[in-house]
Amino acid sequence: MNLHSSYPFWLAKNGLPFDYPKVEESTSADVVIMGGGISGALVAYHLINAGVNCMLIDARTIGLGSTCASTSLLQYEIDTPLCELIDKAGLKNAVRAYQLCAEAIDKLGKIAKKIKFTDFEFNQSLYYAAFKKDLFFLKEEFNARKENGFDVDFLDKRVLKKQFSIDAPGAILSAAGAQTNAYSFTHALLQYAKTKGVKVFDRTPIIHIEHHKNNVALTVENGCSIKAKKLVYATGYEAVKFIDEKIVALHCTFACASEQANEKQKFWTDDVLIWNTADPYLYMRSTKDKRILIGGRDEEFYSPAKRDALLPGKIKQLVNDFNKVFPHIAFKPEFSWAGTFGATKDGLPFIGNYKKLSNSLFALGFGGNGITFSLIAAEILTGNITGRKNNDENIFLFERI
């Protein structure tokens, strides 16, 4: 599946920073991770640090699936608001899911520091009401978060305008948040994992998989075989080829990066992450090299061709959306792209065993904050493989739907 259109900003900026070989002879490992994006890289990082013999393979060049198209906002909020998730998943599971995402942001920052990856920055997150009619919901959401221990403040119209120059009915300001470059982070994680013994291969399409009682056998396009005790599927939205397609709906989102500003240019207060209550929602952030990234205007995914045809018009709409929020900030588009993502009924990912496929484990971080979900998945799956039970796995099982 073609997961993105045009050249995402990160790919244009960072190119292909490292080379990885193909699988050219039959091999084996205790655990094979299929998928070389941020999800697979985090699983590899955690497994090798737990002493698990593992290898990672990808059909594409590393990072060239959804990862290079990510705008890399790290938020503890998922696509389903907490006040709604409580109704869908129950109070305990809903709050715990949000807590895990908040903890994941902090853990990702610590990992970045450990592997000396510098394109990671902690930021507050601002969630504002796109319309006056959304104010009641926003206050309900604020109360749900506050009552369950999240570090949030409610900003009324006057304070929001004064503090952030945004003319909107109100907003929730959250302390937890960060921004990064998922594409470069993936490569940094895999370079670290390689020093610990992880074998990383790309351009290695798997054409056949057999799940047996005690192992999994994979056949590479070139005829080579790979055997493993466990297979981790970290293939993102392409996992619909292996599981029940009904558990996820595919959508596409559109994004744009501005031209680079001068070093003295200030965009908005504290470079907070910004998103709103519209459906689909508008989201925006700044970058280390003084650009603005904006995204949104999502559509249901039908085909790469239709998605790509929509791109020019969507970018015009996004720039107009940005100009309405910040009319005093010049935004001249330089890079634009579209990416495919999956959405589940409750907004939560699928992590863990899939009973129809023996010795399979899935790390499917569907939704708007797949990077934090990927960290959660890496921890849960590592515990599963090493025999350390993680009760949080129950929140994300396939059987919940």
Residue 332 lies in a domain: yes
Residue 217 lies in a domain: yes
Which pLDDT score is estimated for 251?
A: 83
Residues 252 and 170 in one domain: yes
Residue 256 maps to which CATH number? 3.30.9.10
Residues 169 and 272 in one domain: yes
Domain final residue, candidates 325, 343, 361: 343
**Of 4-13, 21-30, 43-52, 392-401, which range is least confident?**
4-13
Residues 49 and 141 in one domain: no
Q: Above 80 in pLDDT, residue 72?
A: yes
Residue 93 lies in a domain: no
Q: Above 50 in pLDDT, residue 3?
A: no
Residues 172 and 282 in one domain: yes
Closest by Cα among 53, 31, 119, 96 to 376 = 96
Which pLDDT score is estimated for 48?
A: 98
Domain final residue, candidates 322, 343, 364: 343
Residues 273 and 389 in one domain: no
Residue type at position 353: N
pLDDT digits (tens, 9 = 90+) for 217-251: 999 999 999 999 999 999 987 777 788 767 788 88
Residue 35 maps to which CATH number? 3.50.50.60
Q: Above 70 in pLDDT, residue 298?
A: yes
Residue 115 lies in a domain: no
pLDDT digits (tens, 9 = 90+) for 343-361: 888 999 999 999 899 999 9
Residues 22 and 49 in one domain: yes
Which pLDDT score is estimated for 42?
A: 98
The 3-state secondary structure of 222-255 reads CCCEEEEEEEEECCHHHHHHCCCHHHCEEEEEEE
Residues 251 and 324 in one domain: yes
Residue 103 lies in a domain: no
pLDDT digits (tens, 9 = 90+) for 140-166: 999 999 999 999 999 999 999 999 999
Percent residues over pLDDT 70 in the chain:
98
Instruction: Please give the Cα distance from 303 to 80 (Å, whole number).
Output: 25
| Segments forming the whole domain that contains residue 194 | 4-69+183-246+347-400
Question: What's the whole-model pTM score?
Answer: 0.95
Cα 313 to Cα 66, 94, 183, 295, 338: the distances in Å are: 22, 37, 26, 13, 12
Which pLDDT score is estimated for 1?
A: 45
Residues 255 and 323 in one domain: yes
Q: Above 80 in pLDDT, residue 366?
A: no
Residues 272 and 392 in one domain: no
Residues 258 and 316 in one domain: yes
Which pLDDT score is estimated for 306?
A: 83
Confidence class for position 5, pLDDT limits 50, 70, 90 = very low
Which pLDDT score is estimated for 264?
A: 84
Domain count across the chain: 2
